[in-house]
Structure 1
Amino acid sequence: MGPPVNAATPSTASSAGEDMLTNDQRFLLTVIFGLYFGPHLQGERPPHKSALQRVLERLPRYTQDRLAGSKLMVAQMIHVYYYILRKASQSVIVAPPLLLKFFRDALPPRMLGPGFNYPLFIDLFPTDLHPCSRVEERFMAIDNIVLIDNPSTSYLREEVVVRFKNLTGLQEFVLEKDAAKLPIYVTDEVFYQLIAREERSEGQPHFSVPRCGSHGRQCNISMAFSPLDTTGATAAWSAGAGVVWNAEVELAGSITGRVTLAESEDSYLFNVSLPGIRIDQSARRALQSRACEFPAIYNFGDSNSDTGGKSAAFHRLLPPNGDTFFGRPSGRYCDGKVILDFIAEKLGLPYLSAYLDSMGTNFRHGANFATGGSTIQPVDTRIFEGGFSPISLDIQLSQFEQFKARTLELHAGKSDYAKSSLPRPEDFSKALYTMDIGQNDLHATLKSMTEKQALASIPNILNKFAVAVERLYQQGARAFWIHNTGPIGCLPHYFVFDPPESNATDKNGCLASYNKIAQEFNMQLKTLVSKLRLRLVGTTLNYIDIYSAKYTLISEAQKHGFGGPLEYCCGHDGDYTLYCGQKAIVNGTEVVGDSCSDPSKVISWDGVHYSHAANQWVANRVVDGSLSDVQVPLTESCRESIHS
């Protein structure tokens, strides 16, 4: 369909029958869902191009193989629509049931009116590329769509911009991203729009909701506003429903606000804004205890989570590192994002800057102290000569302590820099502390010891890890997210660059004895985390089984669209071996440790580190809590689990 939204059209409402969408309603549907949402494509860096921009600028149609494979909840899209129209007249707002029909291309022609010339949702997001789906069999979602909180409007005609601002009451197009997020998801497709009323008795306000929605169907509102104790509120949250705490139900008074309600077989979900409503505080505390709003992340680790520390301290990583997502080296040992980046995305936080990177860095939402080659053990001659980083975990902890102390000093001095670029003092105790380290300790022992000696060294390594956690606890850390180590015996590096003496392999071709050492390390780490839970009062410690996710991916590589499990993408082997990005002249010819043609089909990026695609696959299983020993999702990891 052509670009009619850019045509100058009158802003007055249509005079058609009440069942027909007005011109303004149709205009806003197209602009809001076309402007603030776009296709989620692999490798496309923010700012993303909106669906409307692609239509109006006549950009080439993207194909299935470019899609990122993400899902966006329909409830969140609806919430964004109403958030944008929070200042608008009710006459231009479409009710929730019609929005659902708009998404499914189910609006009857009589509602669209004669001469309808705006793109429909399926014109913006074709169903073959953006089908409706279900998450956990309950949540309605649309595939491969991304929310754009600061969309480009340069391609819109001036009269379109003016009309949008007049209808919405907004002066700019930028969304407050957190405000436009829906904290709870809709569990079914049935929506009610209810009217709340106020009456006064002895000078005190009471709020009521009639027992019939605007759709004309009877609904039992006592279920919406029933007394909820802490147990009931917690149970409702666990079932996936939102709770409007407690409010008094009466049947008289003037209109004071509206309630949007979604229904499923066993629960209701509400979005309510009523001035002066009285809340049951015990139920409120129960719900708040389930939702985590981490203001910052502090990460400690090695190259698996390094976002520029080693690159800033020693030497910049060479291309093609970073090419898939960032388009340039980003300090990550990867063609794109590491698992830590996906964790930050899930929490709605920016990617973490390396503490050691002083160039244009903002630490408002945390800092990354990880550096490639770091170990848990303090560096001694054996470790240093093995080529590992001198910035071991104890040094990273010292850097954090200095960072926190200087942050507090600058805030106390009313520094403008502290206000704009450093965490708030209270954020340190509310932040998430992530730890992904230990792999290099095992590498170091295997390079200098027998396998038996390597196994015997694990308790000493983990004792130092425990000391690090306790140091962070003394600094106010209360929420920990701890990754175990991956299957080191499956790293192609060992077969290409550093062949071991023993070649006993498992069914996937991995070195069985090396993986056995990693599994022993992980078993002892899990036991340690359980002990720390008992010692460190008021903390939540989540142990994440990264090993299982990575080994599953390696075992099922072809099933998930990858090539051979022990292939790697970047580097050069054969008669002359080069690491990723290196160059050399061999017999008068330049040899390059270059990238393979399609990194998305390879699990290992450079023989040691995982590719962007593999990290994304693992991260999807990390954040949902299925790899947590207490089965707590990342977004709820500030609270204790009933399983712990």
Structure 2
Amino acid sequence: MALAYDTLKFISTIFLLLLIIPRSVTLACYTSIFAFGDSVTDVGNRMLISDDPSNLRMANPPYGETFFHHPNGRFCDGRLIIDFIAEHYGLPFMPPSASVAGNGSSIEGGVNFAVAGTNTVDSAFYEPRGIVNTYTNASLNVQMIWFKDVLPLFCATPSECRKKFKSSLFVMGPFGSNDYRHGLDFGKDIKEIRTYIPVVIDTITAAINELIKLGATTIMVPGIAPDGCLPVILTSFGSANGLDYDPNTGCLSWMNELNEFHNLRLQQRLNIIRHLNPDVVIIYADLYNAAMKLYRNLKKYGFVQSLAACCGTGGAYGYSDDVRCGDIELINSCPDPWRHIDWDGCHMSEKANKLITMTLLDGTYTSPPINTLCASPSKFTYYD
């Protein structure tokens, strides 16, 4: 009887531990997220800081129709990758930095500094080369200045900041796409565009190193997604030469090769940063291959359209610079955005964003696998 009692007591103790341990691990997960980037990550800054109506299409219907049911500054019909990451860790959607700066708001859950259309590198580098960013000069350096400006809302002293940053996730990007696409828009050839890559990588590196000095311990750095699959690129740089296209997807091969080259150089630099900072976790998020998985397996994921915009008009890809999604002449989108990878010719649909996020969070396309670093049950519903 004593042995049976001891055995029962042991089993009960193990059972209680099993109940306690997952909760303690979950509590050790990220309690705030700070994000930097361009339109892939922007949750409203461009809408808040721009006074040019031609730059405010995302403030008009049908943007936001799928999830929020109204425009909110996101270049999507619903949530972005950064939104799904926040949901996964049980955090609220991050506010855009322009909505909290100077008003005394708490940013305990983090804040988002990304601005659509921004280059990584300052305009001072591009303008002497004849490249003018007509959208914004909210470069990565500018976003870092904003970050330090609002930091007192998060922590009072450097030591307090370091303590809080231990449970913070920093998302650095993606960055680079606009640097290369704006250069192409101004007639630069691919040979010159490739010379910008080291400058872009250096700028990203400097920002990461600055975050590390401030106390950041976990930084996710996304690569560039395959821009050669975007309707805006396929329309603007289409070719009569079939060899310029990937036979399996229809994407422009030379543009995707540029993105892959950037991603390779970025990963090489991240390896150096890891070596120099062994106590800091640097996570590479492979947006390129996560997205290509969708383009190569349309039916598997329930898509019927891969290269045509849901919200747009004109041409083979449903995109035209003359009448774009959010223009008053084009109010409606397609009736089934969940069956489109592309939303507006330049950005992915909510469903595509969600599927990509799933493969990041389950560790398939993050290195090291993010699910091995922070054990937190998903807070959003997965698609079947």
TM-score (norm 1): 0.51
Deviation at 1:361, TM superposition (A): 5.7
Q: Quick one: distance in 1 between partners of 2:203 and 2:5?
A: 59
> Which residue in 1 is equivalent to 2:115?
371
**Which among 44, 49, 58 is matched to residue 308 of structure 1?**
44
Is residue 304 of structure 2 the alignment partner of residue 563 of structure 1?
A: yes
Structure 1: runs of 5 or more not aligned: 1-196, 198-207, 214-220, 225-257, 263-268, 273-283, 413-422, 584-590, 639-644
Is residue 226 of structure 2 the alignment partner of residue 481 of structure 1?
A: no
Deviation at 1:559, TM superposition (A): 2.1
> Which residue in 1 is equivalent to 2:334?
596
Q: Quick one: distance in 1 between partners of 2:161 and 2:68?
A: 29
> Which residue in 2 is equivalent to 1:617?
355
Q: Contact 2:28–2:167 at 8 Å: present in 1 too? A: no
> Which residue in 2 is equivalent to 1:337?
79
Q: Which has the larger radius of gyration?
A: 1
Q: Contact 1:305–1:339 at 8 Å: present in 2 too? A: yes
> Which residue in 2 is equivalent to 1:320?
62
> Which residue in 1 is equivalent to 2:150?
403
Q: Quick one: distance in 2 between partners of 1:520 and 1:295?
A: 34
Q: Contact 1:543–1:628 at 8 Å: present in 2 too? A: yes
Q: Contact 2:40–2:75 at 8 Å: present in 1 too? A: yes
Q: Quick one: distance in 2 between partners of 1:212 and 1:270?
A: 15
Is residue 293 of structure 2 the alignment partner of residue 293 of structure 1?
A: no
Report which of the two has the higher share of strand.
1
Cα 1:571/1:260, change in 2 over 3 Å: same
Report which of the two has the higher share of helix.
2
Deviations 1:489-533 (A, max 9, x none): 00011233x234675111211100000000000000011110000
Q: Quick one: distance in 2 between partners of 1:527 and 1:424?
A: 29
Q: Contact 2:104–2:153 at 8 Å: present in 1 too? A: no
Structure 2: runs of 5 or more not aligned: 377-384
Q: Contact 1:292–1:635 at 8 Å: present in 2 too? A: no
TM-score (norm 2): 0.83
Deviation at 1:426, TM superposition (A): 3.4
> Which residue in 2 is equivalent to 1:389?
136
Cα 1:634/1:397, change in 2 over 3 Å: farther
* Higher RCO structure (Cα 8 Å, ≥6 apart): 2
Q: Quick one: distance in 2 between partners of 1:364 and 1:491?
A: 36
Q: Quick one: distance in 2 between partners of 1:355 and 1:384?
A: 27
Is residue 326 of structure 2 the alignment partner of residue 581 of structure 1?
A: yes
> Which residue in 1 is equivalent to 2:245?
505
**Which among 169, 185, 202 is matched to residue 447 of structure 1?**
185
> Which residue in 2 is equivalent to 1:211?
7
Deviation at 1:564, TM superposition (A): 2.5
Q: Contact 2:49–2:98 at 8 Å: present in 1 too? A: yes
Q: Contact 1:572–1:594 at 8 Å: present in 2 too? A: no
Q: Contact 1:313–1:356 at 8 Å: present in 2 too? A: yes
Q: Contact 2:108–2:154 at 8 Å: present in 1 too? A: no
Q: Quick one: distance in 1 between partners of 2:375 and 2:306?
A: 32
**Which among 75, 98, 107 is matched to residue 356 of structure 1?**
98
Deviation at 1:322, TM superposition (A): 0.5
Deviation at 1:314, TM superposition (A): 1.1
> Which residue in 1 is equivalent to 2:170?
433
SS in 1 for 2:123: coil
Deviation at 1:471, TM superposition (A): 1.0
> Which residue in 2 is equivalent to 1:514?
255
Count residues in correspondence. Answer: 353
SS in 2 for 1:371: coil
Q: Which moved more, 1:460-469 or 1:500-509?
A: 500-509
**Which among 203, 216, 230 is matched to residue 491 of structure 1?**
230
Deviations 1:292-341 (A, max 9, x none): 42121000100001111111111552111111000101211000000001
Cα 1:386/1:271, change in 2 over 3 Å: closer
Written as runs of structure 1 = structure 2, the 5 A alignment for 1:103-122 is none
Deviation at 1:631, TM superposition (A): 2.8
